[in-house]
Amino acid sequence: MKIATWNINSVRLRIDHVVSFLKQESPDVLCLQEIKCQEDQFPAKAFIEAGYSNLAVAGQKGYHGVAIASRTPLSDVEKRRFCDNDDARHIAATLPGGERIHNFYIPAGGDEPDREANEKFDHKLNFMTEMAEWFSAMGGKDKAKRILVGDLNVAPHENDVWSHKQLLKIVSHTPVEVEHLETILTAHNWIDVARALTPDSEKLYSWWSYRSRDWRASNRGRRLDHIWVSPALKNAALKNGRDGLTIHEKCRSWVKPSDHAPITLDLAI
């Protein structure tokens, strides 16, 4: 089973990119973040025509929003509110094999890494704290087949950013954000698949800013997009080795692309 995650930065604006990706990579499940549309505006017809008729969407007008598109049925769809806010940052569903997939779009956090001076940063940390508490209280940590994907807006490791030293005070790589993400990871014994398959000494990015004229030449990237699995799926996630996980950088070079590249994982189940 192939799982894909992609911050598409407006699904309606980039629906042709999405369809091309589905045709080229043929994932069984595609999780999208930042769809930027209300649920009744989601381009369902294009997904159905591409063979993805099973859709779960949590949207809002103009901002945020997440969705799951699947070839196979989705059940027990859940849209959880965090921080008592209806900003459509989570959706979950169960796949026919019993795998429960959670799709997240964690708040970016604004520009200033100071929770007192920047309410967006405070919201981000509160959101992550609530995530950790929820997963910590969830039963079946070792036996349940769970997958967490999405734009988590944190690049946790030194080589998940182009310059660890220069980005330590930049939102997405500050020590307090990394600590909060680690708390979520350990709260449910998640396995960060990309880093489980890739040495920490190797650079790994999934996002490149629009501000760079030549993103590939400058290569000032960050790994903001993640795929995690619960211990019950560890062997399935790692069985194919590094060939099983791909960051599709080519999509970042498409005309009017998202600033994020999609990631796919082949699960041996």
Q: What is the pLDDT of residues 197-251, one digit of tens each?
A: 999 999 999 999 999 889 999 999 999 999 999 999 999 999 999 999 999 999 9
Beta bridge partners of 103: 91, 149
What's the pTM value of the predicted model, to 2 decimals? Answer: 0.97
| Structural domains of the chain, ranges and CATH numbers in brackets | 2-266 (3.60.10.10)
pLDDT value for 212: 86
pLDDT over 70 for what percent of the chain?
100
Q: Are 152 and 224 in contact (CB under 8 A)?
A: yes
pLDDT band at 84 (very low <50, low <70, confident <90, very high): very high
Average pLDDT of the segment spanning 68-86: 97
Q: What is the pLDDT of residues 4-62, one digit of tens each?
A: 999 999 999 999 999 999 999 999 999 999 999 999 999 999 999 999 999 999 999 99
DSSP letters, the chain, are -EEEEEE-S-TTTTHHHHHHHHHHH--SEEEEE---S-GGGS-HHHHHHTT--EEEEE--SSS--EEEEESS--EEEE---BTTB-S--EEEEE-TTS-EEEEEE-----S---TTT-HHHHHHHHHHHHHHHHHHH-S-TTTS-EEEEEE-----SGGGBS-HHHHTTSTTS-HHHHHHHHHHHHHTT-EEHHHHHS-TTS---SEE-TT-SSHHHH--EE--EEEEE-GGGHHHHHTTGGGGEEE-GGGGGSSS--SB--EEEE---
DSSP letters, 87-100, are S--EEEEE-TTS-E
pLDDT value for 114: 98
Q: How far apart are CA 138 and CA 183, in angstroms?
A: 14
Amino acid identity at 21:
F
